[in-house]
Structure formats: C-alpha cells, structure tokens
Chain A
Amino acid sequence: MKSLKLASLDVKPRTTIDVDGHTIGAELTVIAGPCSVESERQTVETAIAVKDAGATMLRGGAFKPRTSPYSFQGLGLEGLRILATAKAETGLPIVTEVIDPRDVSWVAEYADILQIGTRNMQNFSLLKEVGKCQRPVLLKRGMFSTLEEWLNCAEYILSEGNPNVILCERGIRTFETYTRNTLDLSAIPAVKELSHLPIIVDPTHSTGRLSLIAPMSLAAVASAADGLIIEVHNNPAQAMCDADQALTPEQFALLMSRITPLKQFLDQQIEVPDETE
C-alpha cells in the first residue's frame, strides 16, 4: 500500500502507546464499560466492577451516534464529567467517542483516548481534528470498509501529527443476518503485516449476540490482538442502548478468568519472528 507513508510497517517499528502507565501494544488492553453513560451511579458501579474483574480501561459514550435521531443521544458534557468521576474512583483511563469536530478539544479535556466510531471512520474533518489533539485515538473500522480504506484513515490522523492511533476491528456488513456484523478476525494478522499500529477487537458490536462474545474474545486474543473493547453494564436489562448485547459484570469477570490464562499461555510460546527484525 504505497499511499501509507506513516502507517506502513516499512517505516517504523511497532507502535506502543503509554496511557497512565499501561502500555498499549505491549500488554493486553481490555477496555470495558457501558455503551452509554446514563447516570453517575450506573457508570461508577460498572467501572468498579470491570476494574475488579481485570479491565485496564473504562469505555462509556457521552456523545452517541444513533441510527435514529429519536434515540437517546447521550448526556454530552455531563456524561464526560461522570466519566471523570468514575476515573477518580477507579483510576481507570477513559475511552470515549467523539462525533463532532467542534467537541474534540472538550472531549480531550476529560478523556484519555478519543474513539472514532465506525460511522465516522471516513469523516475526514473529524479525523484531521483528532490528529491535531494530544490524545491517542481509537479508530474503529468502518462497517463497509476495506483494510486499505481503514489504514488510509489512520494515515489522516498520523499526518496531522498525532502518532498514537489504535485500530479497532468491529465487524463488517456481509449477507449474514444471524449476527449483527461479521467479525473479520483475519484483519488482525493482516493489519499486523501492513502496519505498525496496534489493533484491538470489539466482540460486542461485531456479533451483536451475547453468546458469541466470549468465544470471539478468546479467538481475538489467540489471533494476537493487542486488546479487546467489550460492553459491560451493571444492569443490562435497564440499559438505554444495546441492552441485549452488554455483559453483566459477572459474565465479564468469568470471561476475564478465561482470557488471562490464555494470554499467559500464548506469551510462553515461542514468538513468531517479526519480519522487520
């Protein structure tokens, strides 16, 4: 991919990103939390639960890109303040989505990592804006995008001067209707062949089915993903969005108890030599 002047594996060794002492790209990053910030209690309770289960970061939406304009749009600035409270309580860094270029500097005041959602992957003015800010960016794959299009979007952010981009595979649209999307696990080794940027996997939105989240999480870790981003809600039945695909804190803890030994086992195996070395 000749257009990748900065994102290509040919130009740079693998990127690692330090966030509050946790190194993305070197350690397994598990980002967990509710789809949206609904209240301080819901967010802080969930944050404490996911931290106890072993999550390394907290996710939570304050600005929600919703399919319908009549759906809950998020708490906005109030949501950011709630996330800051949850961080003060747990120490977990905050990952939250930004959907409007005018919000970038304000979201960056509160968040540790800015997320660009699948619907905004090719919103180039938004990409340029996050490229100018000092926070790492989690760039989700567009649901209709090829790897090349996706990596070119990362290139947009890098070219504005922000070197800290994390890619996130979240499933693509196929003719399959049983799952919400089709999780493209092959994207993990493929991206690692093409780019130095870390890549994590979202098993929640890609499958849209509670029963598939755990197996796909384990498969992602086995495929050498740098991390996972998983929706967890302290009371999924009451959730204001994505109620039927959020794990309970108990289900999440159970999943973590399976991921940890798998990761340890993989780390003990002889590493496949990196082609750059």
Chain B
Amino acid sequence: MKLNEIRKRIDTIDLEVLALVQERMGLAMRSRKFKDGIRDPEREEAVFDRARRLNLNLVEPNFAEGMLRKVIEESRRLQGENRQLVAFQGEHGAYSEVAARRLIPNGAYVPCMEFIDVFKGVEEGYFDLGVVPVENSLEGAVTQVNTLLTNTELTVIGEAKEPVRHCLLATDGKEYREIRVVYSHPQALAQCRDFLSRNSLEPRPFYDTAGAARMLTRERPRASAAIASALSAQLYGLDIIKEGIEDAASNSTRFLVLAKQPSEVTTGDKCSIIFVTAHQSGSLYNVLNLFAEAGLNLTRIASMPLRTDPNNYSFFLDFEGSDRDPTVSTVLEQVHQRTISYRFLGCYPADKQSPTAP
C-alpha cells in the first residue's frame, strides 16, 4: 500500500469508529428505559475488565480502558439530558429520520428494522415517540403503516410533510466519471429514472436508501454510487455529486408522530380518524355528510380492505379542526354511532411548511 491508499483506509476506519460510537450511544440511551439510575458501577467494571483482558498488542490495556471510560462518561452525560427516544424505520439517514429531526429537534433517533418494531416499541414504552410515513405524493399510501394504524392503541400527536430530495452520493466526488452502478431503494431508483438513463447509470435495487449510503462507506465498491438523503451524506461522510435528481419536482412524504399519550403541551388543529361502515347503501355517504353539514374540511380520505373481512373497507379520514371544538366533538360522536368500528387517532398541529421544490 502506498501512503495515499493507507490514508484512505484510515479515513474509512475513523468514520466507522465514530459511527459505531454513535450506535453505542443510541443503545445506552435505550438502556435507560430499563434501569432506575444512570450509573451502574458493577456493569462499568465488567466493561473495563473485558477491555483490559483483550490481548491487542497495539491497543494496550490502559489505553483501552481509558478510551472506554471516556465513551461511558459521555454516554452518562447524554443519558442525563433526558432526550426523547424517537424510533423510525430504516437506517440512520432515512427520510423518516430527516422528518423526525425536523419535528423533534433534540431527540435521540433510533433506527428500527420494521414498522412494527416502531409501533411495538412505543406501545411497550421502550421509545417515547415513533415517526412513520403514511403517504407519498408519487407512490400513494404506505399500506404496512396504514394497516398497523388500524390496530394500534397509539395516538397521533404530530405530522410532517417532508420534501423528498434525492441526492447522488459517492465515496469520492472527484471520481464521478467512473460511476456505473447506483444502489438505492427501488422506489428511489424509480423516481430518478430519467436522471439515471441520461447519465448511462445502471440502477441496482437495495433494501433501503440510507442503507445503500452506509454500504458505500463500509464496502467501497468500485464505480458505485447511491441515491439517498443529504443527511445520509453527512452521516456517512459521502460526497454529494448532485442534489435533487428526482424526475418530478414535487415529491413529498407525509409522516405521523406516534405517542402513547396525547400531547399535553400542543393544541391541535387537525384530526385523524379510522372507521368501518356497515355494508349498506349510503352508509359512507351518511358519515361524510356529517362533516359537510358541520362545515369541516376534509384533507385526506383513503380506504383499505379489511384484513378480517376482505369485502369491507376501513376508511382513513383527516380533517381540519380541533377535538376540543364542540362542533367537532358532536360530529365525532355521531360518526361513532353510525359506524361499526371507529377509532380516533389523534388531534395534532397541521404541518404548515409546504414542501418546497428548489
């Protein structure tokens, strides 16, 4: 290896070490939910002891212990801050995390494998909040999330309409000419189809956008790039070759913030409900008519086949108004009576920041 190659490897390792420390901090913060205090001397001693016994000749026992002490010290400081644990699906850098960071600026963001892990974790109290996508402006409803919403006891306490700005990322921006293959989630690849074909780039499906970015940093495959968020570039130390490479200018995703309890601080001006009507003519009309007569503006209506009864549908309804408003609560009471199943998902502040195209 020549000096510049050695330095490249060192740079990669530095990024990985920091990414792993970040992961460790996240886990430590999650551990708070299981213990009473922050400090656990017995556990700390076990950690140091194991480090000392490792026989790494270049990382001497004293140095190993010192390094871990520093990490644990910082971890205790973070745990003392009482940041909210915000769960999202995907790897760090996912668009869900982009939305979570904007809505809950000082949280600790926890990646989850599946949407159900987000729901379960919040339900069982391991996380304080969950941020999940419900709808994309180009692709429509996120069915998995909508199914989970019909069965959850969680409350919606917020929403975010997040513009999706895809970026082409590479480990070394100066080598853009060599790029032949682009990894990303199939949906992101589909949204950048024109861009890819204009530049003769071959799309390669990957399980996740941010996951593709992370893979680039770790494995450094030749002639490869990824499509992911600008946040992913920051998190994985990648160069942005081009920002906003999606073919359609307006691409946004709507996210919901889930919690166990309704928020006591914020007052909402938008509500979400889910209901199922009886299989009779006019039953859906009768429900919608209640909103029309009360002058309540509907912002979304979507339907999904019922898992338990494929001939019937559950309806998702969002409307402008607060559940504290007597008109709204009267309408909701009547909706409850005219439906065979009804759930109030929550009342929350509408996201006024309209997704801006550049």
A interface residue numbers (CB < 8 A to B): 76-78, 88, 100, 102-103, 105-106, 108-110
Cα(A100)–Cα(B200), bound, Å: 16
- B198 on the interface (CB 8 Å rule)? yes
**A109 near B177: Cβ-Cβ < 8 Å:** no
Whether B177 contacts A103 by the Cβ 8 Å rule is yes
Total A-B Cβ pairs within 8 A: 23
Q: Of A77, A100, A103, which contacts B173 at CB under 8 A?
A: A77
Considering the complex, give the chain A residue whose CB is closest to the CB of B198.
Answer: A105
Between A and B, 23 residue pairs with Cβ closer than 8 Å are: A76-B174, A77-B173, A77-B174, A77-B176, A77-B241, A78-B173, A88-B358, A100-B177, A102-B177, A103-B177, A105-B198, A105-B199, A105-B200, A106-B176, A106-B177, A106-B199, A106-B241, A108-B198, A109-B195, A109-B198, A109-B199, A109-B242, A110-B242
A37 to chain B, nearest CB (A): 15
Inside 8 A of A78's CB, which chain B residues have their CB?
Answer: 173
CA distance A108 to B200 in the complex (A): 13
CB distance from B81 to the nearest CB of A (A): 36
Residues of B near any A CB (own CB < 8 A):
173-174, 176-177, 195, 198-200, 241-242, 358
- Chain A positions within 8 Å of B241 at CB level: 77, 106
In the bound complex, CA of A102 to CA of B195 (Å): 16
The answer for the CA separation of A77 and B169 in the assembled complex, in Å, is 13
SS class of chain B's interface: helix, strand, loop or mixed?
A: helix
Which residue among B174, B177, B200, B241 has the maximum number of chain A CB atoms within 10 Å of its CB? B177
Bound state CA distance, A229 and B177, in angstroms? Answer: 29
Q: Which residue of A lies closest to B244 (CB)?
A: A84
| Residue of B with least CB distance to A105 | B199
18 more A-B residue pairs beyond the given contacts A76-B174, A78-B173, A109-B198, with a C-beta to C-beta distance below 8 A: A77-B173, A77-B174, A77-B241, A88-B358, A100-B177, A102-B177, A103-B177, A105-B198, A105-B199, A105-B200, A106-B176, A106-B177, A106-B199, A106-B241, A108-B198, A109-B195, A109-B199, A110-B242
Residues of chain A within 8 A (CB-CB) of B176 are 77, 106
Residues of B within 8 A of A108 (CB): 198
Query: Which B-chain residue is minimally distant from A80 (CB atoms)?
Result: B242
Closest 5 CB pairs of A and B: A102-B177, A105-B199, A77-B173, A109-B242, A77-B176
Q: Point out the residues of chain B lying under 8 angstroms from A106, CB to CB.
A: 176-177, 199, 241
The distance in angstroms between the C-alpha atoms of A87 and B358, with both chains bound, is 12
A63 → chain B closest CB, angstroms: 11
Please, how many angstroms separate the alpha-carbon atoms of A102 and B178 in the complex?
Answer: 9
Q: Distance (Å) between the CB of B175 and the closest chain A CB?
A: 10
CA of A102 to CA of B200, assembled, Å: 11
Nearest CB of chain B from residue A32's CB, rounded to whole Å: 25
**Residue among A88, A103, A106 having the largest count of chain B Cβ atoms under 10 Å:** A106
Can you name the residue of chain A whose Cβ is closest to the Cβ of B199?
A105
Contacts of B177 in A (CB 8 A): 100, 102-103, 106
